[in-house]
Amino acid sequence: MIEGLEKKTKKDHPLISRIRAFPKPMVLVVLHILFLLAIVLIDDLDYRSKIALFAFLSAMILWVATKIPAGFVAISLIAFVIIMNAAEPELLYESLSEEVVWLMIGSFIIGNAVKESGLAQRLILIILSKSKEKGRVLAGVSSVLFASVFFIPSTSGRAALAMPIINQLRQKYTEKEQNVLVLLAPIIILMSTSATLIGAGSHLIGIGLLESTVHQSISFIQWFVWGLPFALVMTLVSFLVVKWTLWPKNGGKMPKGDQTAETSVLKKQLNPTEKKTLILLVSLIAFWMTESIHGYDIAFVAMVGAILVMAPNYGIISWKQGMKSVSWNLILFVAAAAALGKILVETGVVKWLEKEMLAFLYLFTDAPDWQIVLVILLVSVTSHLYITSHTTRAIVFIPGFLLFSEAIGVNPSTVVFLSLIGMNYCVTFPVSSKALLLFYEDEGASYNARTLLKISVLLMPLYIGVMMLFYFSYWQWTGLQL
C-alpha cells in the first residue's frame, strides 16, 4: 500500500513529469542553440572560425550524449562545414591522407599478424600463468603496457601493439569486464607517457623550442628522474580509479578448464612463424626509435611492416586477411575527427584560444609560485579539450608558455616541463588521443564515450593534484624550480 502510494506520488510530482516530458533530442537542440548564440557573440572570430567552432562543439555533444555512430557524426559535420562555405571539399578528401590514418591501417594489419602467428596468445598465457585472479591479470597487463613506453616512442604505436594482446585476453572475461579492459589499456598507455623523453613526439618538439628560444634544455636523464616517478604514481592512481569505479565487485578467478593446454603451449619453442613475427616487431620498434636518424615517420614504417606481413609466400597473413582486419568504420571516423581538429587550426580558432589563455596567464605576474604552477597546469591539462592533436598542442602552446616565463621572470625549463607533462593528460573524449581512438568502436569490444568522460571527471583533478604535490616535494628536491 505504502509502496504503491510512493510510486504514485513520484509519478504525479509535477517537476518529475516535466523532466520526463523533456526528451533528449530537445535537450540537444537547446544546447546547440545556446552554443550557437554564444559563438555568434564572439567578435574576434570571423564567419569561418565560428562555423568550425560550432561544428567541433556539436561533435563533442553528439559523441558523448547520443548513440549515433561517431564516424557518421564526424563526416556529417565536415560536410556541414563545407556546405556552409567555411571550408573547401578538399578538407574531407585530404583527411584520409593524415598520418594517423595510415598508422592505424598498418597497425591493424600488423596486429592481426601478431594474433595469427600465436605470439599474442603466448604473451597472454605468460601473464595468465603468473596469476589466476582476474584483478591480478589486469595488473599484469597494465605493467606490460607501462613498460612499453621505454621501447616504443608513440602512444598510438604502443596502442597498436597492445590491441591484439587485449583482444586475445578479453576472451577470458565477461562482457562488462571486457569493456573495462578495453578502456583501461589506452588510459595506462597515456598515463605512462611522461616516464621518458621519447614517450611522445610532443616532448621532443617542446625541448626543441626550449633550446632554440632560450638556449636551455632538458636531458634524457633529467626527464627520466623527474618523469618516471610521476608516471608510476599516476598510472597506479588511474589503475585504481578505473578498477574501483568500473570493475565488477564480484570479479573473481580466471575460468579453468584449459590449464593443461596453456602449459603445453608455453613449453613449446617458438615456431618459424612466431620467430618471423618477433623479428618483424623488434625491427619495427627499432625503426620507430630511430626516426630521427633515418627520417621515416612511424606511419610509413608501420605501412612497410604491413606490406611485409602480407607479402605472398613470405608473409604471415594474406592480403585478404589484412584488409579484413582493418576497422574501416574506425578509420573513417579518425580521418573525419582529425579534419575537425585541423579546421580549428586553419580558421584561427586555436590562435584565438591561445590569445585568450595567455591574456589570462599574464594576470599572475606577481603571483606566488603555487598560483603560477596551478594556472600553468589548468591551461595545459585542459588544452586537449579544444586541440585534439598532442603534437599540435605543443606547437601552439609552448611558444606562448616560453613568452610567459620570460615576462614574469621564472625558469623556462621548469615551465616547459610542467606544460608538457600537463599536455600529456588527454583522457576525456575518444578524439583526444590516437591511443583512445584505436580502442574506440572496436568491432569486438569497446568502451562508452560517456564512461570515459566520467573517468576523466575523477582523473583530471587527481592529475592536477598529483602534479602540484610532486612540484612542491619531489621535483623541487631534485632541482625543478620556478
Confidence check: pLDDT of 297 > 70: yes
Q: Which residue has the higher pLDDT, 88 or 24?
A: 88
| 10 band by pLDDT with thresholds 50, 70 and 90 | very low
* Cell triple for 195: 616516464
Please compute the mean of the pLDDT values over residues 115-136 and round it to a whole number.
Answer: 69
Give the pLDDT score at 151: 63
Provide the grid cell at 199.
614517450
> With b meaning 16 or more CB within 10 Å and e meaning fewer, what string describes 132-170?
eebeebbbbbbeebbebbebbbbbbbbbbbbbbbbbbbb
Amino acid at 148: S
Task: Determine which of 181-190, 209-218, 317-326, 451-460 has the lowest per-residue pLDDT on average.
Answer: 209-218
Q: What is the pLDDT of residues 222-234, one digit of tens each?
A: 888 899 999 999 9
Residue of 461 and 134 predicted with greater confidence: 461
In which band, very low, low, confident or very high, does the pLDDT at 472 lie, cut at 50, 70 and 90? very high
Q: For position 22, what pLDDT does the model report?
A: 45
Least confident of 41-50, 51-60, 133-142, 260-269: 260-269
Of 66-75, 383-392, 470-479, the range with the lowest mean pLDDT is: 383-392
Hey, which residues does 253 pair with through a beta bridge?
A: 133
Confidence of residue 8 (pLDDT cuts 50, 70, 90): very low
Residues 6+ apart with CB under 8 A from 141: 127, 165, 166, 169, 181, 185
Tens digit of pLDDT for each residue in 130-177? 666 666 777 878 888 888 777 665 677 677 777 777 777 777 777 777
Given this model, what pLDDT does residue 263 score? Answer: 54
pTM, two decimals, is 0.65
Write down the pLDDT at residue 142: 83
Asked if residue 422 lies in contact with residue 381, where contact means CB atoms within 8 angstroms, the answer is yes
Q: What type of residue sits at position 79?
A: A
**Nearest Cα to Cα of residue 467 among 434, 401, 431, 418:** 418
C-alpha to C-alpha distance for 267 and 303, rounded to whole angstroms:
33
pLDDT band at 252, cuts 50/70/90? low
Q: What is the distance between the alpha carbons of residues 344 and 326, in angstroms, rounded to a whole number?
A: 28
Q: In whole numbers, what is the pLDDT of the chain averaged over residues?
A: 78
Compute φ and ψ for 425, nearest 5 degrees. Answer: -80, 120
Q: Any idea what the Cα angle at residue 37 is, between residues 350 and 51, rounded to 5°?
A: 45
pLDDT higher than threshold 80 for residue 31: yes
Across the range 274-281, mean pLDDT stands at 84
- Strand pairing partners for 133? 253
Which of 40, 25, 49 has its CA nearest to residue 349? 49
Q: What is the reported pLDDT for 120? A: 66
Q: What is the band of 420 on the pLDDT scale with cuts at 50, 70, 90?
A: very high
Q: What angle do CA 353, 356, 361 make, to 5 degrees?
A: 120
Q: Is the pLDDT of residue 79 over 60?
A: yes
- Please name the residues in contact with 342: beta carbons below 8 A apart, sequence gap of 6 or more: 91, 95
Can you give the pLDDT at residue 69?
A: 76
Alpha helix stretches (DSSP H) within 42-197: 47-65, 70-83, 90-93, 99-117, 119-130, 134-147, 155-169, 175-191
Interatomic CA distance for residues 353 and 392, integer angstroms: 13
- Average the pLDDT over 244-269 and give the result: 61
Whole-number pLDDT of residue 100: 67
Q: 331, 105 in Cβ contact below 8 A?
A: yes
User: Which segment, 1-10, 211-220, 261-270, is predicted with the most confidence on average?
Assistant: 211-220
pLDDT-above-70 percentage for the chain: 80
Q: Residue 253 pLDDT > 70, yes or no?
A: no
Angle made by CA atoms 106, 110, 114, in degrees to the nearest 5: 170
What is the distance between the alpha carbons of residues 390 and 393, in angstroms, rounded to a whole number?
A: 5
Average pLDDT over residues 446-463: 87
Q: How far apart are CA 138 and CA 181, in angstroms?
A: 8
Q: What's residue 422's pLDDT?
A: 92
- Which residues, 6+ apart, have CB-to-CB distance to 372 below 8 Å? 364, 408, 410, 482
Identify whether the C-beta of residue 64 lies closer than 8 Å to the C-beta of residue 450.
yes
Q: What are the backbone dihedrals phi and psi of residue 212, each rounded to the nearest 5 degrees, phi first?
A: -75, -25
**pLDDT-derived band at 361, boundaries 50, 70, 90:** low
> Does 334 score more than 80 pLDDT?
no
**Each residue's pLDDT tens digit, 258-273:** 554 455 555 667 778 8
Higher pLDDT, 355 or 42: 42
CA gyration radius for the chain? Answer: 24
DSSP 421: H
